[in-house]
Amino acid sequence: MTYQEYKVMFNEEADRGLKAAMKAPQKRGWSSMTKQSIDSKNDVIRACNTNLTMIAQRCAEIYSDKPSLLAEEEDVSLIKGKD
């Protein structure tokens, strides 16, 4: 993959994570119909942050001469969640 493809993947994951977090309930739930857990906003944010970090680290390993995706994307930083 090229550096530009990593940037696009990073931005798409950030957008996907934000949209999913906006739809997610505040608290974790349970669907009695499907018998599955429903992720809370914090669950979605944690998963998104993990994905963004993995993409940025992989890109930094391959393209060490290019700026880090996390440092470069000031406007699209990791989604902040409650700790």
Per-residue pLDDT tens, the chain, 83 aa: give them. Answer: 999 999 999 999 999 999 999 999 999 999 999 999 999 999 999 999 999 999 999 999 999 898 888 865 444 455 555 54
The answer to whether the beta carbons of residues 70 and 77 sit under 8 Å apart is yes
The answer to whether the beta carbons of residues 54 and 6 sit under 8 Å apart is no
What is the pTM assigned to this prediction? Answer: 0.77
